[in-house]
Amino acid sequence: MSGMLHAAYAADDANDDEMVLVITTPTRTNIAVSDAPAAVTVVTAKDIKAKNVSRLGDVLDQVPSLFMRGGALGQSQGTIGTSGMSLRGVDQNKTLVLLDGQPIQDASSGKVEWRIPFVEDISRIEVVPGAFSSLYGSNAIGGVINIITKQPDRHEFSVKVKKGWSDASGEDASVYYRDKMDNGLGIAAGLGYQDRDSYVNDFVTKASACPPPPAACTPLTPVTGWKAITTREGAPVYLVGDLGRVPWNAANATAKLSYDLNDTDKIYTGVNYQQTNLYHSQFNTYLRDATTGAPVSSGLLDINGQPVNLTNFDFTLFSSLPLHESATRYFVGYDGRIGTDYELKLDLAKISREYSFTFASPASTWDSGPGSLYDTPNTGLDGTAQLSFPVGSHQILVTGLALHEDSVNQKIYSLSNWRNPDTKTGLGNYYNGDSTITSIFAQDEINATDKLTIYLGGRLDNWKTSGDSLNNSATPPYTLYPSRSANAFSPKLSMVYKLSDDATLRASFGRSFRAPANQDMYTSSTSRGRTTVGDPNLQPERGTTWELGSEYRVTEASKVTATIYETQLSNLIYLQQVSPTLSQRINAGKARIRGIELDASIKLTSWMELDANYAYIDSVILENETDPLSVGKRLTDSPKNIAGISLTAKRGEWSGSLSARYVSHTFWTAKNTDVVEGVPGSYDAHTMVNAKLGYEFAKGVKGSVAINNLLDTEAYSYFLLPGRNVTAEMNFSF
């Protein structure tokens, strides 16, 4: 972690042209982007300022091969902060996301919590696709997204206020301060708050059916207001209502201290906090009694001459509100030298998360009745000791030790009122899971010739896990799982060849892995008569990747890059149907992903820049004993085509940006049966166009207006995506 922090000191956001030249993630040492053994994308502070940014995903929308949906996007619906994501077709559980070197994947599910980073505190983001378990261990199959925060190394004081309308309705505000004293003491602190009204994005559909016996299919109440549509699989259903808005608020806070012991050594510490709360608003039924005109939200109905059994549960089935999540992260570290040649980095960080939500029982109404509270506190602990030093005049060796611990303790309580988490009546099911990975890694950077650099490295990870669970519907109800372990060795070989000062070739081959999440192994849940259980004997998922790439710098400020790659995945975890009422997670799958990435950055004039990218991702399931009909189909959350283009400009007091992003159809089901678009729950091909225009009224006083979804495209990514919306923002800096 500390090495990544240290690299940001040289540039930070004071000089973006200088900043993009030096990165750290691909090698854990300072390196020029053009010399990196990977197709790295760097999102700078300048990029962040040019966009309408509320959450991390808003600044990553032009990264080649990166697909994001849902909670990663600040203008999206008010769902939880986790979301679907893939990098080069590899999903978020197998793509490592770091905040100053610490994973921010949830310790229970392994999903990414995108709300944790405080946007105002982000200095830069390095996106490094490819196999990187050789340096970073578990989860780095698809690559590494490394979020590097600002350091207290210069003066900055800023205040931001934002107001949104339409589907972005709400307010944002933040204040941020950092400074460096003459005595070597640095301080940074910030607060941010968001309050959003949300919008209607989740809908209720019903198929024609009678209630189960012994109920009769008569009498029927004729209704109007329905709309005949289909499911994403093409089955006929009726659109009968929606779940209303989901208002939410979020808060971020950060505080950091650093101290220069001398010219080369420093210590640092700090704390970050993030909290999000989701609420509920009244559902909407579109149905009206054909005789009286009164609203209808339940009953045995006559829709288009067909019987439809509508219940209160249809308006609460997929609701998980109220919802609360928070994360508190503490960190401390040392960055310095031993003698003149040895660079030592030490860091330790802990993140504590709270995550809870409620579910209604089938007998409940929209605003009352029994239900369940899912309370899943979890923690992550990370520590690294890294030593870098030259070996002779042509080699640099990076070696280190690392520790990662995940711990989760989920409890499911019965509630007398599912809308009130404080109405607990008893403890139902629970599970506890603990996983620890201890690692040793090394990488040798060999300057074989003036033009050829070779990187040879590997990492040995020892993974240990244990847990226990209680499931009152199982026999026996309590299970204690014995401790077990597995080893993973992840080697990697990379080469960078300089054809000329302007042209570079890259090649690499590496193996990677992802340890099963605690939820995969120890959870057991029953819903609507079906029980899903984890497998405590799951083994790590594996990946093998090769890639070839090139970069050509047309001018000093313009370049083009191209990359081809292939990733083989094995031991993939799928859900196997053991019986009509029982499903279990097992290692059952193999897949292959092949792709092409093209990226160009062109300085059109002294004040305007064009960026364009395209990715072709060919993913296919090769084996899946849990679902043979999925073999030959695409991986879920893996679009076949992604393309982006953006223009950014700054001339005098004016600044602006215009960007477009196309994502092709993605699949939710392993069999790829969800082929219908434009219906609730579908995953549509779509193009989103966003624009922002800013003006500097005086030194340190800037205003801007942004329009998201400029063309008012209507599309679903399971939830209905936001329609055209407008935000106005004022920034004051001193």
- Dist CA 238 CA 260 (whole Å): 66
How large is the average pLDDT for residues 591-595? 98
The per-residue pLDDT for range 677-707, each reduced to its tens digit, is: 999 999 999 999 999 999 999 999 999 999 9
Residue 268's H or E segment, with its range, is strand 266-278
Contacts of residue 15, defined as CB under 8 A and 6 or more positions apart, other chains included, come to: none
Buried b (16+ CB within 10 A) or exposed e, 25-52: bbbbbebebbbbbbbbbbbbbbbbbbbb
Query: Which of 65 and 218 is assigned the larger pLDDT?
Result: 65
Please state whether beta strands 558-579 and 582-603 pair in parallel, antiparallel, or not at all (unpaired): antiparallel
Closest CA to 569 of 82, 93, 64, 40: 93
pLDDT digits 0-9 by tens, 330-357: 999 999 999 989 999 999 999 999 999 9
In a domain, 218, yes or no: no
Handedness of CA 568, 571, 577, 578 (dihedral sign): positive
Greatest Cα pair distance in the chain: 91
Instruction: For residue 658, give the amino acid letter.
Output: L
Structural domain for 679, as ranges: 2-202+234-243+264-603+612-733
pLDDT at 530: 67
Residue 213 lies in a domain: no
pLDDT in tens, 133-146: 999 999 999 999 99
- Classify residue 207: in a domain, yes or no: no
pLDDT of 665 reads 97
Position 258 in a domain: no
Q: Is 249 part of any domain?
A: no
Domain contains 534:
yes
- Using an 8 Å Cβ cutoff, are 599 and 616 in contact? no
**Quick check: 537 and 509 in contact, CB under 8 A?**
no
CATH number at residue 559: 2.40.170.20
Q: Which residues pair with 469 in a beta bridge?
A: 431, 479
**Span 481-526, pLDDT tens digits:** 999 999 999 999 999 999 999 999 999 999 999 999 999 999 876 6
Q: Is residue 582 part of a domain?
A: yes
Strand 221-224 vs strand 323-338: parallel, antiparallel, or unpaired?
Answer: unpaired
Cα distances (Å, whole numbers) of residue 483 to 304, 329, 461, 517: 58, 28, 16, 15
Number of domains composing the chain:
1
pLDDT band at residue 529 using 50, 70 and 90 as cut-offs: low
Among 33, 25, 171, 278, smallest CA distance to 727 is for 171
Cα–Cα dist 664/675, whole Å: 12
**Domain assignment present for 438:** yes
Q: Is the pLDDT of residue 11 over 50?
A: no
Task: Provide the pLDDT for residue 218.
Answer: 81
Whether 213 shows a pLDDT value over 80: the answer reads: no
Nearest alpha carbon to residue 594 among 622, 572, 557? 622
| pTM for the predicted model, two decimal places | 0.94
